[in-house]
Amino acid sequence: MTLTKQSSNRAEEIRKKRTTGSRARSRPSIPNRGNKSTSAAHPPILGRRGFVGEPVSQKRPNMKKIKRRFDFSLGASGAEMRLPSLPVIHLGWRLVSGMIVTGLLYCLYTVWTSPVYLVNFAEVEGIERITWEEINLVAGVFDKPIFIIEPDKIQQDLQQAFPELSLISVKIGLPARVLILVEERQPIIAWRESEQTLWVDIDGFAFPPRGEPAPEITVESIGSNNQTYLDNLSLEEVNQSQFISVEMVNAILSMSAKSPENTPLVYMPDHGLGWRDQQGWDVFFGRYDEEIEIKLDLYEAILELISEKQIQPVLISVEHLHAPYYRLGQ
């Protein structure tokens, strides 16, 4: 009797618990928003897509690389052949910029080493006495890329090596052309001093002898102060100043027209220009060609005088019209 009563009590308790649990599940509890402890104690509500109130994950699912599929028809039968799928490659900006830089470097290297842009020689125009080989040797452009040719440096080197050039112009062009335009000074006087010879042009500029023909007028300088200038020119050091003045050049031209044939002119700093007469004396007419006709007439008169007196002078000077003289000894 006692066992039967206990079993019925236990069955009623289980039945009450099941009834209470089913009611709790059928009635959703509304959380109290004002009471945080109460809302935190209740479990989250289960919905169709998960628990309500559970934070949604932002993690992106692992996406497989998209592959492109190619299907080709095999004729009118309708059969198709599927080729292996190829992945679609997405290029980033770093990869693209790297490819561009690599391509530019390759192009620069190709252009730099290409024989198309290597200079074989320089074209030279305007030379008469200087040879083409001498110009190219100083220019130094053989087998060099056109991109490193420096026209200003070539012009400076040529001016230093060839002071007889009054005009130098260097032009470059693609793919590998170097054009050098020059203008040479024309020598009209050969100036001899201390066993050295210079050529002088109409403007009084001097330069070393080069080529043919040589000037017809020769001046022998005795005791002048141009030795330093001669030493510099022998070392190919350019001096842009005049060697002699334009007035001196004009005087030499005038004096040469009045001097005896095949007789070189003589220049001394104290007496100016003159010549060495075949009878054994030196005659001087001063530095410039002023009143040269009158001085020549005066010189003829002195020659008649010394011929009558049978005098053999070593020097005759008509530098000053009002004070001519002749000297018998040193």
In angstroms, the first-to-last Cα distance of the chain is 181
Given a cut of 80, is residue 323 above it in pLDDT? yes
- 63 domain residue, yes or no: no
Same domain, 245 and 178: no
For residue 54, is pLDDT > 70? no
Lowest mean per-residue pLDDT among 14-23, 272-281, 316-325:
14-23
The one-letter amino acid at 242: Q
Domain identity same for 215 and 277: yes
Residues 172 and 203 in one domain: no
Spatial neighbors of 149 by CB under 8 A, at least 6 apart, are: 119, 141, 172, 178
Q: Are residues 281 and 175 in the same domain?
A: no
Tell me what pLDDT residue 239 has. Answer: 46
Task: Give residue 185's pLDDT band: very low, low, confident or very high (50, 70, 90).
Answer: very high
Q: Give the range among 154-163, 177-186, 230-239, 258-267 with minimum mean pLDDT.
A: 230-239
Q: Is residue 225 part of a domain?
A: yes
Alpha helices in the chain (DSSP H): 2-26, 36-41, 93-113, 132-139, 151-161, 227-234, 246-258, 292-308
Q: Residue 59 pLDDT > 70, yes or no? A: no
Which tokens hold the place of 2? 């006692």
Q: What is the pLDDT of residue 192?
A: 92
Segment 290-308 mean pLDDT = 87
Q: Is residue 46 part of a domain?
A: no
Lowest mean pLDDT, pick from 58-62, 106-110, 271-275, 300-304: 58-62
195 lies in the same domain as 320: yes
Please identify, among 166, 183, 200, the residue that sits at the C-terminal boundary of a domain: 183
> Does 188 have pLDDT greater than 80?
yes
Q: Is residue 70 part of a domain?
A: no
224-253 pLDDT, tens digit each: 655 544 455 444 444 456 888 888 898 899
Average pLDDT over residues 190-215: 90
CATH number at 133 reads: 3.10.20.310
Contacts for 269 with CB less than 8 Å, ≥ 6 apart: 223, 224, 225
Of 161, 122, 123, residue with least CA distance to 144: 122
- Which residues form the domain of 174? 116-183
Q: Is 60 exceeded by the pLDDT of residue 149?
A: yes
Q: Are 138 and 165 in contact (CB under 8 A)?
A: no
Boundary of a domain, candidates 149, 183, 217: 183
Are residues 167 and 124 both part of a single domain?
A: yes
What's the pLDDT at 290? 73
Is residue 228 located within the same domain as residue 272?
yes
Q: Torsion-angle region of residue 236: left (phi > 0), alpha (psi -120 to 50) or beta?
A: left
Helix (H) or strand (E) holding 283: strand 282-286
pLDDT tens sequence across 98-144: 888 888 888 777 777 788 889 999 999 999 999 999 999 999 999 89
Kindly state the average pLDDT of the residues 180-198.
92
Q: Do 248 and 297 sit in the same domain of this protein?
A: yes
Residues 123 and 177: beta-carbon distance below 8 Å: yes
pLDDT at 235: 40
pLDDT > 60? residue 55: no
Q: Supply the pLDDT for residue 261.
A: 84
pLDDT tens for each residue of 259-286? 888 888 999 888 889 998 888 888 999 8
Tell me whether residue 230 is in a domain.
yes
Domain identity same for 243 and 196 = yes
Could you tell me which of 136, 191, 188 has the C-alpha nearest to residue 162?
136
Q: Name the 3-class secondary structure at 201.
A: coil
Q: Is residue 74 part of a domain?
A: no
Both 137 and 263 in one domain: the answer is no
Domain count, the chain: 2
In a domain, 71, yes or no: no
Q: Which H or E run includes 145?
A: strand 144-145
The domain boundary, picked from 131, 159, 183, lies at 183
Do 178 and 238 lie in a common domain?
no
Q: Say yes or no: 207 and 290 in one domain.
A: yes
Per-residue confidence (pLDDT) for residue 75, from 0 to 100: 64
b (16+ CB within 10 A) / e for 314-324: ebbbbbeeeee
Q: What CA–CA distance (Å, rounded) separates 142 from 144?
A: 6
255 found inside a domain = yes
CATH number of the domain bearing residue 204: 3.40.50
